[in-house]
Amino acid sequence: MNKEELKLRLEEQLPPASFEDGAEWTTAIVDPAGWEGFARHLRSDAGLEFDYLFCVTAVDWRTYMTMVYHLTSTIHRHIMVVKVKLDRDRPEIPTVSHIWRTAEFHEREAFDLFGVVFSEHPDLRRLFMTDEWKGWPLRKDYEDPVNMIKL
């Protein structure tokens, strides 16, 4: 399915999603509360079958945070992007590691670098940093006088 058909199909099946215009692929914007149900639907619906989560990104927009999920289907070969807007002071979102197993590592990385908490993740702990590290390195307000050099 191409961009427009996908958007129409999703709009009719899941009203709560809103869509972003002007992007290369169909981009849906979802609430954190509805994310898990939306993801399950994307994975299991016969016409959609997004079985391949190929990129999980967290973005810090200074006043809020976003999780961006890039999905594709190996059967129908369509691509879509889902963005979930999170509160910056308490970024929490349900995990999707039981739907796409690649999310286990990707969500650990987002937790380690941004501090996003994934509820019900089987093993949420830091991935790259040492376990005792304080702070979330990739946030825009992260200060580290020892390791960061300001030019």
Partner 1 sequence: MIQEVGTTEQGELVINLGPQHPSTHGVLHLVITLSGETIKKVEPHLGYIHRSIEKMCESLSYRQFIYVTSRMDYLSSHINNHGCALCVEKGMQIEVPARAKVIRVLMDELTRLASHQLWWGAMAMDVGALTPFFHAFREREAINDIMEETCGARLTMNYMVPGGVMADLHPDFPKKVKEFIRFFRTKIDEYDELVTGNVIFKSRMEGIGYLSAESAVSFGCTGPTARGSGVSCDIRKLYPYEVYGQLQFEEVTATGGDCFARYMVRMQEMRQSLSIIEQLIDNIPEGEFQAKTKAVLKLPKGEFYSRVETARGEFGVYIISEGGTTPYRIKFRSPGFSNLSALDHMARGYKIGDLVAIMGTLDLVIPDIDR
Task: Give the range of 3-11, 34-42, 84-92, 120-128 binding partner 1 by CB under 8 A.
Answer: 120-128
Q: Does 55 bind partner 1 (CB under 8 A)?
A: yes
Site string for partner 1, 71-90 (x = CB under 8 A): ---x--x-------------
**Residue 96 near residue 103, CB atoms below 8 Å:** yes
CB of 40 to partner 1, least distance (A): 14
Q: DSSP state, 40?
A: H
Tokens of 32: 């954190």
Q: Which residue has the tokens 């059967």?
A: 75
Which of residues 15 and 150 has its CB atom nearest to partner 1 in the complex? Answer: 150
Degrees, nearest 5: CA angle 122-79-62: 60
Q: Does 127 bind partner 1 (CB under 8 A)?
A: yes
Q: Which residue has the tokens 């992260």?
A: 142
For 128: left if phi > 0, alpha if psi spans -120 to 50, otherwise beta; the answer is: alpha
Query: Diameter of the chain by CA atoms?
Result: 53
Q: Does 138 bind partner 1 (CB under 8 A)?
A: yes
Q: Does 15 bind partner 1 (CB under 8 A)?
A: no
Task: Give the range of 4-12, 18-26, 34-42, 85-93 binding partner 1 by CB under 8 A.
Answer: 18-26
Q: Which residues lie below 8 Å from residue 44, measured CB to CB, with a gap of 6+? A: none
Q: Does 63 bind partner 1 (CB under 8 A)?
A: no
Binding residues vs partner 1 (CB under 8 A): 22-24, 51-55, 57, 59-60, 68, 70, 74, 77, 100-102, 104-106, 109, 113, 125, 127-131, 137-138, 151
